[in-house]
């Protein structure tokens, strides 16, 4: 029994010694195995250091040129919040277009001005052969009254001699004088009637000699007539003054491509050659687009804003569609609402408001005629920015200077090749501009990028993802630090 126990003890001691010897000789391999098994646990316990979001990027001069970057100093200013309203340019009633009518019944025997031609006040437009019985009767009555006056004057000369000798009573002379005054009044009325029918003073003088007028010239309206831009004649103007205006209209000159003097353009021809026309029938339409209207189309809920702008005389900003600003002089005029319409269009449920527009023109000569070209034309579309609220002490930037990421809005400050992204508070924005609060996030005088903000933000993210941020700098000893370290 003791021998067996001793034998088990010797065997156990030998096993322990063998294991210890094996472990001693394989200690390096065992150490490497334990290191490999412990590595995953150690990595699981490690936490990556927080990465600070990049706020600065760097661009080369070539990159800035490719983006067309423009930087300007930030300056607080006053900005008007506006509402956008569509509109169009229209003719100004009573000033832009002028209809020419037939003065009497007749037939069109000659047309002197055609659509597109430029005419001056007093230029011939049509020649009419008269068929008017009324006009012929008026000429006959004028001729008769003239001859009757001559007879009465001769009779008075004879009776005056007899009255001195007492052969004729003085009452007879008084009666003749009254008849002469009545005939003079009738002659004056006939002459005035013929003048209003389009006859000239020389033609009326020929009628008194018995040479009746069978044709009449229809001319463009003279200066001062309704529908023109000239001064209105006074009621005391005599027939001779009207005659002078018709026969001596202001000359139209072409000076440096500018048309001087009042001109009309034949816009539409309403009759044909040989057509019979009635008195008062429209013959043609003349246009002069010097004075126009900008007609805005607003909804009823925008009426309080428009009424406020009209009452206070606030200037309205106008964007003209398809306007060639490079080849025309600067438009130096202030646009203000003149009046609001008091009716709503039943089709589109909008009401109109009107802004006066003074047009620009230039001309060119061809085949001995002067043709006029207007800068703005009826039917041209516009976009109106009506002011509704004044924002003071704010920063105004173009819409391309802002980039958004969720609720955040950013601008980029330029400092040489570096662009620093700054978070800002946007108070108002429209299609063209963005209004930023002057809350201290941007110091006055800092240069801000005025465009390509979205592109700068993409470059910033790309540089941050590459592992080397533009806001890190390398020291001489090889260490890398962020700004301020």
Q: What is the CATH number of the domain that holds 411?
A: 2.40.420.20
Helix, strand, coil fractions of the chain, as percent rounded to 5: 35, 30, 35
Domain boundary among 233, 255, 287: 287
Domain range spanning residue 190? 97-287
Domain boundary among 373, 388, 403: 388
Cα 305 from Cα 83, distance rounded (Å): 9
pLDDT at residue 10 in the model:
60
> How many domains in the chain?
4
Task: Please tell me the pTM assigned to this model.
Answer: 0.64
Q: Tokens standing for 236? A: 């005391």
Domain boundary among 363, 388, 413: 388
Q: Tokens standing for 198? A: 């389009």
Q: Do 159 and 113 belong to one domain?
A: yes
DSSP per-residue letters across 329-391:
----------EE-SS--TTT--EEEEEEEE--EEEEEETTEEEEEESS-TT-EEEEEEEEEEE
Cα 87 from Cα 352, distance rounded (Å): 9
- Residue in this structure with the two tokens 């969720």, named with its chain if needed: 406
User: Nearest 10 degrees: CA dihedral of 147, 151, 152, 154?
Assistant: 140
Residues in the chain, overall count: 485
CATH of the domain at 316: 2.40.30
Q: Do 21 and 111 belong to one domain?
A: no
Establish if 50 belongs to a structural domain. no
Q: Do 111 and 256 belong to one domain?
A: yes
Establish if 199 belongs to a structural domain. yes
- Residue in this structure with the two tokens 């009779």, named with its chain if needed: 155
Output the CA torsion sign for 303, 308, 310, 315.
negative
Q: Do 20 and 74 belong to one domain?
A: no
Q: Do 283 and 137 belong to one domain?
A: yes
Q: Do 363 and 456 belong to one domain?
A: no
Residue 444 DSSP label: T
Q: Which regions of 50-172 does DSSP assign to beta strands (E)?
A: 56-58, 71-73, 77-91, 97-101, 106-111, 118-119, 124-130
User: Nearest 10 degrees: CA dihedral of 88, 89, 95, 101?
Assistant: -80
Q: Across-strand partners of 423? A: 410
pLDDT at residue 269 in the model:
93
Establish if 51 belongs to a structural domain. no
Q: Within a 13 Å sphere around the CA of 336, how many CA atoms are in the beta-carbon half?
A: 11
Q: Do 350 and 337 belong to one domain?
A: yes
Cα 380 from Cα 96, distance rounded (Å): 15
pLDDT at residue 429 in the model:
87
Cβ proximity of 284 and 218 under 8 Å: no
Q: Do 157 and 259 belong to one domain?
A: yes
Q: Do 260 and 317 belong to one domain?
A: no
Q: Do 8 and 21 belong to one domain?
A: yes
Rg over CA atoms, the chain:
48
Per-run averaged pLDDT (10 residues), the chain, 485 residues: 61 65 62 55 49 74 89 91 93 89 90 90 90 83 88 81 70 82 89 82 85 86 51 36 40 49 85 91 92 94 92 93 86 92 90 94 83 90 92 92 92 90 91 89 90 90 70 42 48
């Amino acid at each position: 029994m003791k021998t067996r126990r001793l034998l088990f003890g010797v065997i156990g001691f030998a096993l322990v010694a063998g294991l210890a010897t094996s472990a001693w000789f394989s200690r390096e391999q065992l150490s490497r195995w334990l290191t490999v098994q412990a590595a995953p646990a150690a990595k699981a316990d490690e936490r990556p250091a927080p990465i600070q979001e990049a706020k600065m990027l760097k661009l080369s001069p070539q990159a800035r040129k490719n983006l067309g970057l423009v930087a300007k100093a930030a300056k607080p200013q006053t900005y008007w919040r506006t509402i956008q309203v569509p509109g169009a340019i229209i003719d100004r009633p009573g000033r832009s277009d002028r209809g020419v009518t037939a003065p009497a019944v007749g037939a069109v025997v000659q047309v002197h001005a055609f659509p597109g031609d430029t005419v001056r006040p007093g230029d011939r437009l049509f020649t009419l052969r008269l068929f008017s019985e009324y006009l012929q009767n008026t000429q006959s009555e004028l001729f008769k009254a003239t001859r009757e006056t001559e007879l009465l004057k001769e009779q008075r000369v004879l009776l005056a001699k007899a009255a001195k000798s007492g052969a004729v009573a003085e009452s007879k002379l008084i009666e003749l004088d009254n008849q002469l005054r009545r005939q003079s009044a009738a002659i004056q009325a006939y002459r005035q009637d013929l003048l209003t029918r389009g006859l000239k003073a020389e033609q009326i003088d020929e009628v008194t000699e018995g040479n009746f007028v069978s044709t009449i010239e229809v001319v463009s309206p003279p200066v001062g007539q309704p529908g023109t831009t000239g001064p209105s004649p006074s009621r005391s103007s005599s027939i001779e003054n009207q005659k002078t205006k018709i026969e001596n209209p202001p000359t139209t000159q072409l000076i440096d491509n500018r048309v001087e003097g009042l001109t009309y353009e034949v816009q539409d021809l309403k009759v044909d050659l040989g057509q019979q026309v009635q008195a008062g029938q429209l013959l043609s339409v003349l246009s002069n687009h010097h004075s126009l209207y900008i007609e805005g189309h607003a909804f009823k809920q925008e009426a309080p804003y428009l009424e406020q702008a009209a009452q206070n005389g606030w200037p309205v900003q106008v964007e003209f569609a398809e306007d060639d600003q490079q080849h025309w002089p600067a438009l130096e005029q202030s646009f203000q609402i003149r009046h609001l319409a008091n009716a709503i269009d039943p089709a589109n449920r909008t009401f109109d408001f009107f802004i006066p527009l003074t047009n620009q023109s230039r001309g060119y000569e061809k085949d001995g005629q002067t043709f006029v070209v207007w800068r703005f034309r009826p039917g041209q579309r516009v976009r109106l920015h009506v002011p509704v609220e004044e924002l003071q002490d704010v920063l105004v930037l173009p819409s391309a200077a802002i980039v958004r990421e969720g609720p955040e809005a950013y601008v980029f400050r330029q400092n040489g090749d570096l662009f620093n992204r700054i978070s800002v508070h946007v108070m108002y924005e429209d299609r063209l501009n963005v209004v930023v609060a002057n809350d201290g996030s941007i110091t006055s005088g800092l240069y801000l990028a005025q465009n390509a903000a979205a592109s700068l933000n993409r470059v910033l993210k790309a540089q941050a993802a590459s592992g080397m941020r533009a806001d890190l700098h390398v020291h001489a000893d090889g260490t890398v630090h962020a700004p301020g370290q």
